[in-house]
Amino acid sequence: MRNNTICLAMGFLLVAFNACKTDDVAPKNVISFGSSVSLSVNNTIISENNDSALIKVELNTISSSDVQVILSYTGTAILNTDYSSNITIVIPSGSLSNTASLFALQDTLKEGNEIINIAIESVIGAAENGIQITEITIEDDDVTNPINLIFNEILYDPSNSGLDGDANGDGIYSQSQDEFIEIYNNSSKAIDLSGYKIFDANALLSDTPRHVIIAGTILQPQKALVIFGGGTLTGTFGNALVQKTTTGDLNLTNAGDVITIKDALNIVVLSIDITPWSDNPNESYTRNPDITGDFVQHVNVNAKKFSPGTKVTGDPF
């Protein structure tokens, strides 16, 4: 009886000991990639007339195995109807990048310009370098007037602190002469701007333009034209086209104004109301990012107060 009691006690102790044991928890299998993928295109505007662009996926470091990048396409343009392209791009092992062609598909519909948003859906063998997305515009060649001019930067209130407002670079501050507007050709075709007219609100009422664009002014695709109030235009301005007004003054009012552009047939092609902006910014308003972004005060994205003829970074268009 005593032996049975001892054995029973030892059995309880063994069970208790096993019950207190904790199995080791296997660590979570986290996959870490040394390479990350970025996305870009070589052409952000293509013509519907069988034009094309290259989509590029690029690694920051070489991978020892193939990297498969799966793309997604959204926007107003429809894959395999308005354009064709690959869903997947493979970067071979030992390579840093690869490309795929995107082709516009011709039709006869007057549908206007259409947008393709290209994003990285997923990556096999590497990681996406943050959120990667880019945009391509398919320019409709069936519409009567396919030009696409935009305002990209406007200086209506040059700083009067020393030469901080000397936008035209002539070494003299002048409120009227240093004002400028920057127009960008956001299309795939050159635009003949000969005879186009620039108005502020008062000039529009009297139909007396502040500036008539010089005959023979051809604005190339994805390039800029800068029109200053006056002065001696000194500098390269990113090799953009530059002119000064034919009247010597853009006459832009700080408290509110509307800038209007008419073509040679007196048809309004572009207009912008600057009234909602700050009355006295002492700097330009620029799109951020250039071309596609909303207007912000220049020092929000660059310490300089203006960048006529160039992107906000100072790089040429």
Residue whose structure tokens are 């970074």: 313
What confidence tens digit (pLDDT) does each residue in 76-107 have? 999 999 999 999 999 999 999 999 999 999 99
Same domain, yes or no, for 83 and 132? yes
Q: Which residues pair with 117 in a beta bridge?
A: 74, 135
Same domain, yes or no, for 178 and 295? yes
pTM of full prediction above 0.75: no
pLDDT surpassing 60 at residue 26: no
Q: Which domain holds residue 192?
A: 149-300
What confidence tens digit (pLDDT) does each residue in 200-254 have? 999 999 999 999 999 999 999 899 999 999 999 999 999 999 999 999 999 999 9
Q: CATH number of the domain that 89 lies in?
A: 2.60.40.2030
Last residue of a domain, one of 120, 139, 158: 139
Rounded CA separation 83/45 (Å)? 13
CA dist list (Å): 58 to 26, 45, 73, 105: 35, 21, 18, 26
What confidence tens digit (pLDDT) does each residue in 184-202 have? 998 888 899 999 999 999 9
Instruction: Please give the tally of structural domains in the chain.
Output: 2
Same domain, yes or no, for 135 and 221? no
Using CA atoms in the order 279, 285, 287, 289, what is the torsion angle rounded to 10 degrees? Answer: -120
Report yes or no on 239 lying in a domain.
yes
Residue 4 confidence class, pLDDT cut points 50, 70, 90: very low
Same domain, yes or no, for 83 and 154? no
